[in-house]
Structure 1
């Protein structure tokens, strides 16, 4: 087995790492994915809808890899963790750290409210600029990055926040 290390250099990426296993389903799924290749039907059977959402989140934060395997019904896409270790090496201001901790500890309801506000700013399904969201909501770009890193339906591409393909 190849040993791969996920190196975290950006304080905002801590939010993703903290939430990779923030529920019992995510934790168990992450452990299952670290021990072998698992297909989506198996994940859905074992973990239900929450397992599918957890898989989408792990894919969004680039913690899993895919390959095609031959199953009973022909070729199926299977998933496995990409990294075997995580190394955290960050430095940031206290205000950045405060925003990251706040984003990491938001309740699901608070996160959903922020997601709804950001989605409402999107016109015709197109992304919205990070700076525009910051100005509109009156919060720092660091906090917005943390919220988006935590979200399973939003992602940052360049300077824009967009919906994850396949989300909702």
Structure 2
């Protein structure tokens, strides 16, 4: 039996990702499927539709999956499998930051989509912006902004830049 891999959560923003890894029935099913075996995007799409593909992209974005190339009847394809067996949460944070993260985690999908659209609009046509500039434009804390971005499949943080994912 292979050794367990532990995802250590030491950043409050990562906590948002963990809570939303399986926040819908389809995400949960995709996650369970790739825990059992290696699956290609096509297999996930066939079984769970476009929502399943989006779930897989989200799991890849938050780095809960590993990939490998597999050879099948239709040639070489990228396959996905869960990377971690366990989570270890190790956080200390001010209560005000905890409140903002809890807000992002428990936010309805409708409210979240509204925030996501505001962020994309604030980023503008360049499709990327410095994190500090976006915090100022949005008028929200960096913790809340990071939480919203971690929950999104359409926006990502690369270093100190926020970008719209293509």
Give the TM-score normalised by structure 1: 0.93
Over 6 Å off, 4+ runs? none
Question: Could you say which residue in structure 2 is the equivalent of 1:93?
Answer: 94
For residues 78 and 123 of structure 2, the distance between their equivalents in structure 1, rounded to whole angstroms, comes to 32
1:39 Cα offset (Å): 0.8
Question: Could you say which residue in structure 2 is the equivalent of 1:56?
Answer: 57
Question: Could you say which residue in structure 2 is the equivalent of 1:45?
Answer: 46
* Alignment partner of 1:79 is 2:80: yes
Unmatched tracts of structure 1, length 5 or more: none
For residues 77 and 137 of structure 1, the distance between their equivalents in structure 2, rounded to whole angstroms, comes to 37
Contact 2:135 2:141 in 1 (8 A): yes
Contact 2:35 2:81 in 1 (8 A): yes
Question: Could you say which residue in structure 1 is the equivalent of 2:149?
Answer: 148
Question: Could you say which residue in structure 2 is the equivalent of 1:27?
Answer: 28
For residues 111 and 147 of structure 1, the distance between their equivalents in structure 2, rounded to whole angstroms, comes to 8
Contact 2:123 2:134 in 1 (8 A): no
- Summarize deviations over 1:71-109 as a string: whole Å, max 9, x none: 111111110001111111111000010010001111112
For residues 88 and 4 of structure 2, the distance between their equivalents in structure 1, rounded to whole angstroms, comes to 13
Unmatched tracts of structure 2, length 5 or more: none
1:105-120 aligned within 5 A: 105-120=106-121
Question: Could you say which residue in structure 2 is the equivalent of 1:163?
Answer: 164
Give the TM-score normalised by structure 2: 0.94
Question: Could you say which residue in structure 1 is the equivalent of 2:71?
Answer: 70
1:117 Cα offset (Å): 1.3
